[in-house]
Amino acid sequence: MGSVGDVKPQVMPFTEPLPLRSGARLSDYTLVYETYGSLNAERSNAVLVCHALNASHHVAGTYAGEARSEGWWDNLVGPGKPLDTNRFFVIGINNPGSCFGSTGPMHVDPATGRIYGADFPVVTVEDWVDAQARLLDRLGITQLAAVLGGSLGGMQALSWSLRHPERLRHCIAVATAPNLSAQNIAFNEVARRAIVTDPEFHGGHYYGYRVVPKRGLRVARMIGHITYLSDDAMEAKFGRGLKAGVPGYSTQDIEFEIESYLRHQGDKFSEYFDANTYLLITRALDYFDPAREFGGDLSAAFATARCKFQLVSFTTDWRFSPERSREIVRALLDNRFDVSYAEIDAPHGHDAFLLDDARYHGVLRARFDNIAREFGA
Amino acid sequence: MSDKKDIELIAELVPPGSRVLDLGCGSGELLAHLRDHRQCSGYGIEIADANVLACTQRGVNVIQLNLEEGLAMFEDRSFDVVLQLDTLQHLRNAERMLLETARVGRVGIVSFPNFAHWPNRLRIATGRMPVTKALPYEWYDTPNIRVGTYADFEVLARKNGLQILDSFGIQDGRVRRRRPNLTASVGVFKFERA
């Protein structure tokens, strides 16, 4: 199993405005994307990998001369890996509103000539899927062998099956949910309030002040990170370990290992992530609810799908719990679709979807092997 | 039920083109057989990781679920046939699962080791628990927590208002219709809700 090696992101500009769910339009935008492997003559081996909250188009491979620049799903995507780039043409697209290159709140609004900031239109999972579909049009890909995503990426994979049912043969949705629960929205809201109430947020127009609401971003990341780990995983990794070995009897200094870890994660995140993007992406999570237009009937919502489905969840994931994946499975069964579901007994919580548990990767490898057989690779 | 001949004998009970649910489907061998030879579609339910992987490799739809939690995910009569082969004897709530089988499927098919097969009777007569091909475990390590007989199943089916459509024993890869309770190590029942 190897790496796809050094890769270069590509840029595609779009002049035709993208109509958004909110009624707004995104005009003159660009999308950044990467591809690995090669498209076969029949154009039948393309797999779109959708990214989650803090990831990007950089799914696999490295950037030349940059240490530790592996893509976020490099353990899954590459030559000989479960999603084998010797057989598949893999595409990663950075969603609009993100802060990794595609048009986002830090860019200039062509309508006003000013930086979007808080005025960047609210984007939804459906909007992202439509933007991705347009990029695939330009690449000449009319039908994907599969769409794969985890967490928020899984929601995009599900949305693909509903919005563009004829354009994918397989939907592979990992550690995802048919919508967010109230508790889940609550976590997002705490994160958003942390950002919005940071004095350096300036109503979302902090770019002009040459500041970044880092304090808010740090807290947002800390709360997010707590929800990505299981209680057991946190206990195993940190327990009640004290940074100095003995109590320092301080209310504000770092005392416990877990505090040190969370602060480190928060610091790192605040260095590279954009606050407005965080607000936009958590909102996209909150809004996703394909059953909403069907009176809450998820089975009815899925009636338009045509592809085959693979769902995966992790037993210790309490942010996107197995129960939520089973709701999706049930809706797919009601529609008599081909669906398989693996519930992986992994200890790591939501983060498990990015790790390389052998049972999890075994199922995905088997699934992609079968998909490859369909087009004779 | 990994015996190839047994699988073929049971597959013959499934009408071609059926929509099938296989509870405790193992590595998906029977489902693949039904798909490839009888144009059936459907799903397997499995709890074991290795079996879920094997089914995925075969391209058989598999849903990882603990049968002890019931079949709430499935609507009434949503399958033509629900199979429960070599599974019932492992379940704590065997009777409830039998009723669930009859609820979800128009037709249910179960198979299980027949404890009244004559070698077992002989062994019991000597004062020891049987250890045979169909019941290969010692009493202290057997996963078969519900050991019953061919005749016992007929009683259970009647008690639960299940109509037996067909039943036979299997011994050495052959159907036994004469005195199956004595001559067969495996019992097979095809039934529906009366």
Alpha-carbon distance A334 to nearest alpha carbon in chain B (angstroms): 8
What is the rounded average pLDDT of the residues B142-168? 95
Beta bridge partners of B20: B42, B81
ipTM of the modeled complex: 0.94
Continuous segment of H or E residues that includes residue A150: strand A146-150
Question: In Å, what is the CA distance from B111 to each residue of B22, B23, B24, B40, B170?
Answer: 12, 11, 12, 20, 9
Q: Do the Cβ atoms of A16 and A10 come closer than 8 Å?
A: no
Q: Which of A342, A377, A361 is nearest to B49 (CA)?
A: A342
Q: Do the Cβ atoms of A366 and A335 come closer than 8 Å?
A: no
Rounded-to-5 percentages of helix, strand, coil across chain B: 35, 25, 40
What is the rounded average pLDDT of the residues B102-118? 96
Q: Do the Cβ atoms of A320 and A313 come closer than 8 Å?
A: yes
**Confidence label for B132 from pLDDT (cuts 50, 70 and 90):** confident
A69 flagged as catalytic: no
Query: What single letter denotes the amino acid at residue B130?
Result: P
Chain-centroid distance, C-alpha B13: 12
- Cβ-nearest to A359 among B53, B65, B73: B53
**B62–A366: do the CB atoms touch at under 8 Å?**
no
Question: In Å, what is the CA distance from A10 to each residue of A13, A33, A44?
Answer: 10, 5, 21
Q: How far is it, in rounded angstroms, from Cα B121 to Cα B131?
A: 11
Q: At residue B194, does pLDDT exceed 90?
A: no
Supply the DSSP string of B110-129, one letter for each residue. EEEE-TTSHHHHHHHHTTS-
Residue ranges for chain A with pLDDT beneath 50: none
Q: How far is it, in rounded angstroms, from Cα A99 to Cα A274?
A: 6
- Taking a contact as any Cβ pair under 8 Å apart, which residues of chain A between 271 and 310 contact chain B? 310
Per residue in A69-101, pLDDT tens?
999 999 999 999 999 999 999 999 999 999 999
**Most A CBs within 10 Å: which of B64, B71, B75, B104, as the mutation test of the A interface?**
B64
A325 flagged as catalytic: no
Provide the whole-model pTM.
Answer: 0.95
Give chain A's end-to-end CA distance (angstroms, integer): 17
Percentage of chain B modeled with pLDDT above 70: 99
**Confidence label for B1 from pLDDT (cuts 50, 70 and 90):** very low
What is the rounded average pLDDT of the residues B176-182? 97
**Most A CBs within 10 Å: which of B56, B65, B69, B73, as the mutation test of the A interface?**
B56
**Which tokens sit at A22?**
């909110």
Q: Which of A164, A115, A105, A103 is nearest to A283 (CA)?
A: A105
Supply the DSSP string of B64-77, one letter for each residue. E--GGG-STTS-TT
A338 vs B contacts (CB less than 8 Å): 41, 61
HSE (CB half, 13 Å, CA atoms) of A205? 8
Continuous segment of H or E residues that includes residue A331: helix A322-334
Per the residue annotation, which of A317, A321, A348, A351 is the catalytic one?
A: A317
**Confidence label for B4 from pLDDT (cuts 50, 70 and 90):** confident
Q: How far is it, in rounded angstroms, from Cα A314 to Cα A332?
A: 19
Alpha-carbon distance B118 to nearest alpha carbon in chain A (angstroms): 41
Q: Which of A29, A37, A30, A28 is nearest to A11 (CA)?
A: A30
- Taking a contact as any Cβ pair under 8 Å apart, which residues of chain A between 322 and 361 contact chain B? 326, 329-330, 333-334, 336, 338-345, 359
Q: How far is it, in rounded angstroms, from Cα A156 to Cα A170?
A: 13
Q: How far is it, in rounded angstroms, from Cα A12 to Cα A17?
A: 14
**Most A CBs within 10 Å: which of B20, B25, B27, B49, as the mutation test of the A interface?**
B49
Chain A with chain B: Cβ pairs closer than 8 A: 48
Q: Do the Cβ atoms of A132 and A87 come closer than 8 Å?
A: no
**Counting Cβ atoms within 10 Å, is residue A185 exposed (0-12), middle (13-18) or buried (19+)?**
middle
B41 vs A contacts (CB less than 8 Å): 338
Q: At residue B155, does pLDDT exceed 80?
A: yes
Which residues have C-beta within 8 Å of that of residue A235, sequence separation ≥ 6? Answer: none
Q: How far is it, in rounded angstroms, from Cα A369 to Cα B56?
A: 10
Q: Do the Cβ atoms of A270 and A101 come closer than 8 Å?
A: no
A329 vs B contacts (CB less than 8 Å): 63, 73
Beta bridge partners of B1: none
Q: At residue B71, does pLDDT exceed 80?
A: yes
Q: What are phi and psi of A86, to 5 degrees?
A: -75, -20
> At A344, is the secondary structure helix, strand, or coil?
strand
A350 flagged as catalytic: yes
Q: Find the residue in B nearest to A369 (Cα).
A: B57
A345 vs B contacts (CB less than 8 Å): 49
Sign of the Cα torsion B167, B171, B176, B182 reads negative
